[in-house]
Amino acid sequence: MSALSRHIETLGALLLAVIWISPLVFAFWAAFHTTSDAVNFNVAAPWTLDNFRTAWAGAPWLRYFVNTFFLVTVILIGQFVITTLAGFAFAKVQFPGRDFVFILVLMQLFILPEVLIVENYAMVSRLGLFDTILGVGMPYMASAFGIFLMRQAFKGVPIELHEAARVEGCGWFGILWRVYVPLARPTYLAYALVSVSTHWNNFLWPLIVTNSPDTRPLTVGLSIFGAPENGVDISVISAATMMSVAPLLIAFLVFQRQFVQAFLRAGIK
């Protein structure tokens, strides 16, 4: 009985896995076949790269890739600097009003930047950052989530190390840079993976703030490319989709363990 139920469970687990992965596998397969072969499930049909050629010629993909790459880099650098400083202040510096300000910061976890699109758009325009990569990135740099994560990481650093560095004549900044930052390396890595994959995939805000191919990230480019008005056929859309998810997907498959660990570390305090 137990053996039977175990087999059934294994079957269930595998079946769900196959169902879960099938949209991706199917789109991958379709991207390498002509549309008529793809929609007719012609399994024996020859493989072709034509869809990729058509898709590649249909939009400035290279530019989109570069834009997305810049965007995630700018955001990550901004987040590292800002959340390190703020996290350190919350973890290790005593100052009046600290707890109150920390609660304000935590509130931002629920004031989603996505919901404030109208006023954030006004703010970005006022700052003259409309249609710039900096404008896309800025609202995400002072991430409450990141500040919280860094605070937790810095809190775990033993005070003896701090004091030892001080005795050696390190100033505040030196202590932060030489003691805390190196010790929090796993947290930085985790945060980086979560941040990069979030912003690589972000869509609504970049859609609003960008207005030209020079700043548009991949997701926005992909949505414009695949819009029904453009009448692009489905195999070509699949090819474009595969192209734009490939870097992150390959990185994920290679560094799967680190990715999963990162999401865990970031999610569970």
Partner 1 sequence: MADHVNIERRRQAIYGWILLSPAAILLTAFAFYPSLATLWSSFFSRGTRRRPSEFIGGENYADLFSDPTFWKVVTNNLIYAGVTIPVSIAIALGMALWANSKIPARGFVRTAYFTPTVLPMIAAANLWLFFYTPGLGVLDQIGSLFGLPSVNWLGQPETALWAVIIVTIWKEAGFFMIFYLAALQTIPEDLKEAADIEGASRWTYTRRIVLPLLMPTTLFIMVNALINSVKLIDHLFILTKGGPNDASKLILYYIWEMAFAFFDAPHAAAMTILVLAVLGIVAGIKFSYLDKRTHYQ
Structure tokens of 117? Answer: 């699109």
Phi, psi of 34 (to 5 degrees): -70, 155
Binding partner 1 (rule: CB under 8 A), the pick from 55, 75, 86, 133 is: 86
* Residue 138 touching partner 1 (CB under 8 A): yes
32: three-class secondary structure by DSSP: coil
* Residue 254 touching partner 1 (CB under 8 A): no
* Residue 45 touching partner 1 (CB under 8 A): no
| Neighbour count for residue 26 (Cβ, 10 Å) | 13
Considering only residues 178 to 237 of the shown chain, the ones binding partner 1 according to CB under 8 A are: 197, 200-204, 207-208, 218-219, 222-223, 226, 234, 237
* Minimal distance, residue 57 CB to partner 1, in Å: 18
Binding partner 1 (rule: CB under 8 A), the pick from 3, 44, 57, 118 is: 118
Binding partner 1 (rule: CB under 8 A), the pick from 142, 161, 189, 192 is: 142
Choice between 182 and 267, CB closer to partner 1: 267
Residue 112 vs residues 115, 144, 205, 258, 266: alpha-carbon distances, Å: 5, 10, 11, 27, 18
Choice between 39 and 164, CB closer to partner 1: 39
Residue 176 vs residues 103, 144, 162: alpha-carbon distances, Å: 23, 20, 9
Binding partner 1 (rule: CB under 8 A), the pick from 128, 156, 182, 267 is: 267
Are 9 and 24 within 8 A, CB to CB? no
